[in-house]
Amino acid sequence: MAWQFKPLSLDRQHAYREALELTPEKASDYSFINIWGWAEEHGLEWSWQEACVWIRQTRPTPSLWAPVGDWRELDWPRLRAQGHFTQMPMNRTPQMLTDHLAASFGSEVSVTPQRGQWDYLYDIGELIQLKGKRFHKKKNLLSQFMRRYAYNYLPLSARESTHALALQEDWCQWRDCESQKALAAENRVIRKLFRDWEHLEGINGGALRVDGRIIAYTIAEALTPEMLVIHIEKGDPGFKGVYQAINQIHLSREGKSHTWVNREQDLDSEGLRKAKLSYHPVEFIRKCSVRFNST
């Protein structure tokens, strides 16, 4: 019997987060905050089957995502025989599950790396301290920001959403979001997250304020006790060093209880990849597209 997929709902987020805790390898894509924010843009739906949550993406092209839950307990041969994986690939599949399926099915599956979907992982201590030649430029820009501007840091909450959205609107004007599909979509996602802030479990963040105005903000969450994920980071480019400042100051205030920070993917953008590599990731969460071949 075909699985029935339905739109995501806030009332099941706690159960979803419990399933995510059981998932052997946790990528940023699969946090509830991420799938909720992007649900309309990607046409995301879910189906609760076999003690896992299965996510289906309907836009721009249909695909499955990897199951959320303890996929080690799944009877993969039976599920395949039932025809659940024959019509579309399983994208954003973390390496641990990719290896499991490749070992189990051999030539019956085709694996394609998705480099643009890899999560970038960093040592939080390194990004707070910014020691050594590798981080000299970052440290210099941070120091310039701290000397030049009388700023204050505040934890981000729904109360500051109006002021953060004012910065977001300005940022979109500077970058001409409406002429770029990706930026326009991200802008809609940001507005949705602020709209639903008080109903989203685990969402947090921080902001920098100068002269009473928010000039930078970040939206984050703890994916695991060890790992903090940065979902969104925006700053006013008129303040030199603003991105180095919100990154370092937010982690120094909110990140010390974690070991790693996950700054998500580069989506095959040359500029994003260069920026993310400049902070010297210590590891990646690698992902692939897995397709079950016809028998």
Q: Let me know whether 257 and 220 are in one domain.
A: yes
Q: Let me know whether 252 and 140 are in one domain.
A: yes
Q: Let me know whether 100 and 135 are in one domain.
A: no
Model pLDDT, residue 2:
83
Model pLDDT, residue 210:
98
Q: Let me know whether 93 and 208 are in one domain.
A: no
Q: Which domain holds residue 134?
A: 121-264
Average pLDDT across the chain, whole number:
96
As a whole-number percent, the residues of the chain with pLDDT over 70 amount to 99
Name the stretches of the chain with pLDDT < 70.
Answer: 295
Q: Let me know whether 168 and 251 are in one domain.
A: yes
Residue 206 φ then ψ, to 5°: -155, 165
As a whole-number percent, the residues of the chain with pLDDT over 90 amount to 95
Confirm whether 16 is domain-assigned: yes
Q: Let me know whether 63 and 155 are in one domain.
A: no
Domain count, the chain: 2
Confirm whether 275 is domain-assigned: no
Strand partners, 234: 217
**Model pTM?**
0.96
